[in-house]
Structures are given as structure tokens and as C-alpha cells.
Amino acid sequence: MDKLNVTDITLSGFVEITKYRYLFFCIMFILYSLIMSGNLTIVYLIWHHKNLHEPMYIFIAALSFNCCLYSTTLYPKLIIDSLTEQQIIPYSACLLQFFMFYFVGGSEFLLLAAMAYDRYVSICQPLRYPTIMSKTTVSILLVMSWFLSACHFAVQVILSAKARLCSLNLKGIFCNNSIYSLQCVTSRALTLFGVVALMDTVIIPMLFTIFTYTRIFILSHRGGKEFRKKATETCLPHLIVLFMISCFTFYDVIIARVESNFPKLARIVMTLQIILYHPVFNPIIYGLKMKEITKHLKSLFSRKKM
């Protein structure tokens, strides 16, 4: 099967949920609305209030923006597909969806690593904090998080675009790393770049984040009660988010590796978890756990009631 950008891929995963088509539509529509409203509210509050123009909150706004971008890549197509008899997507659009899915995922880990560094300097070196975490430093960390992730996964998309397809049937409901199963042969270069991307955008940032927070908690344990409280309040939400996206990243890798031996319905359930929990719970975690954001949220809703 030749060239790709004119090839339509069938998303066969929807076969398992055709009986619940309208229920699936309603759930996806409601979830997408909640995700967009929740995360955009967080972004708006941080942009609008000057006392939130600090590195930690800027990184939180970047993570919330990522959730909006991530969800917009997936949910509208899922909503449309739930109402159609045949779910198809051009291979070029499938590659774009693949790129956005992993670009955002990779940048999440890099942003969380940047946040961990910010928290370390703030808690453990407070006197040097204004100098180290300047506006320039924050801007560089933001740009590099998105740029490095984009570069890593752009390479995989380019190599996949040149691959020859032997199947047009994708066992899923959107285009993730299962697109490799469509290719006649997965090249060594593609496999190598996949491993490099996993190491650079997931494993290394995750280990750095865990190491940094471990250092913070060790130092806070030696300090007083107030110091420990501050460390826990500011670091716990980030660790919860890290735990969630780490679990779902490894789910995504596992699904691709054990696809042939995994029950279809179970695979779909796991896939839905990947796209569901993090974007839905992200604004809840930061909205309820970060005091300044919670304060502005209460103020926003109290004004609306008046």
C-alpha cells in the first residue's frame, strides 16, 4: 500500500462501543467541556492576577494550556466519530494527532522537571531565588520544554511518513504509537529515535523530578514544622500530577507492546484512561491544592453569583 498522505485509516476500536454510541457521545462532550472550562479558568486566573505572575504559577498555566491543546487534538474527533458509522482518518491527520499526543506528553514531563527545579531553588535557596529564577530563565525553560519535545517527536513523524503501509486498520480510537502496527517494517532508525525520545522526554525528566523532590523533603525534614508544611503544600500537587502522567505513559507503552494478546475492550478502557484523568483532574488538583489559585477561584465565582 503506497503513499500515505492520501491513505485513509480505519479506527476499528469503535466497534466495541457501537452499542453505547450516544452515551459515549454525551460523556465525551461533557468531559471535553469540563476540561476546557476548568483548564482555561486556571490559565485566565494566572494571566489576569499579577500576584500569580510567579514562576510556579506560570508553569501551572503552561501545564493547563497543554491539557487544552492535548484534549483538542483528541476529543473533537472522538465526538464526531461516535456519531458516524465508519470512523476513518487520513494518514497525514493521523500522524498529526500522533505528533500532538506525544509532543504534549513529552513537554509535560519537561515542564514538571522545570517546576521541580523552581521549587528546589525557592525552598532550599530562597535568598538566591529572585536571581536564579528570573523572567529570562523561566522563558527559556518554557520554550525549551516545548521545543525539545517537538523536535524529538517530529523526527518520528517524518520517518513514519516515509514508511510503507501494509495495513489500513488501526486497532484503537485515536492515533497513538499503535500506528507502527500499520507499517510493513518498523525501521531501526524509528525504533532508535523512539527510545531516545522516551529517555529524553520521559525517563530523565521524571528521574530528575523525583530526585529533586526527594532532596526537598530530606532538607525540609531537618527544618521546622512551618518549613515542612510549606514544602508539602507546594510540592504535593506536582507529585500527584507526575504520578498520574507517569502511569498513563507506561500504560500507553504497554498497550503497544502487548496489543495482540490484550482484550480489545480492556485496551479501549486503558486508552480512555490515558486521555481522561490527567486533563480532567489537572485543574482540580491545582485549583484545590494551591492556596492562591483557590482564593482567586472563590473570588471569581462569588462575583458571578452577584
Stretch 2-16: mean pLDDT: 64
Dist. CA 20–CA 210, nearest whole Å: 41
Q: DSSP class of residue 184? A: S
Of 22-26, 129-133, 294-298, least confident by mean pLDDT is 294-298
Dist. CA 20–CA 17, nearest whole Å: 5
Sorting pLDDT into bands at 50, 70 and 90, what band is 4?
A: very low
- Tell me: pLDDT of 198 over 70: yes
Query: What b/e readout covers 211-231, taking b as 16+ CB neighbours within 10 angstroms?
Result: ebbeebeeebeeeeeeeeeeb
Q: Which fold, 4-305?
A: Rhopdopsin 7-helix transmembrane proteins (1.20.1070)
Sorting pLDDT into bands at 50, 70 and 90, what band is 146?
A: very high
pLDDT value at residue 207: 94
**Quick check: 100 and 73 in contact, CB under 8 A?**
yes
Secondary structure (3-state) at 259: helix
- Tell me: pLDDT of 187 over 50: yes
Phi, psi (rounded to 5 degrees) for 170: -100, 120
Dist. CA 14–CA 233, nearest whole Å: 42
Sorting pLDDT into bands at 50, 70 and 90, what band is 1?
A: very low
pLDDT value at residue 81: 86
pLDDT value at residue 3: 43
pLDDT value at residue 304: 57
pLDDT value at residue 258: 57
**Quick check: 49 and 43 in contact, CB under 8 A?**
no
Give the model confidence (pLDDT) of 219-274 as tens digits.
877 766 777 777 777 788 888 888 888 887 887 777 665 555 566 666 666 677 77
Percentage above 90 pLDDT, the chain:
30
Higher pLDDT, 160 or 18: 160
Q: pTM of this prediction?
A: 0.87
- Tell me: pLDDT of 184 over 50: yes
Give the model confidence (pLDDT) of 45-84 as tens digits.
889 888 888 898 899 999 999 999 999 998 999 898 888 8
Dist. CA 152–CA 155, nearest whole Å: 6
User: Which has the closest alpha carbon to 124: 240, 217, 238?
Assistant: 217
Higher pLDDT, 178 or 266: 178
Dist. CA 114–CA 59, nearest whole Å: 8
Cα–Cα distance list, 181 to 133, 270, 294 (Å): 44, 18, 45
- Tell me: pLDDT of 5 over 50: no
Sorting pLDDT into bands at 50, 70 and 90, what band is 114?
A: very high
pLDDT value at residue 2: 44
pLDDT value at residue 21: 78
pLDDT value at residue 87: 84
Dist. CA 128–CA 122, nearest whole Å: 8
Give the model confidence (pLDDT) of 24-37 as tens digits.
889 889 999 999 99
pLDDT value at residue 301: 66
Stretch 80-106: mean pLDDT: 89
Arithmetic mean of pLDDT over the chain: 83
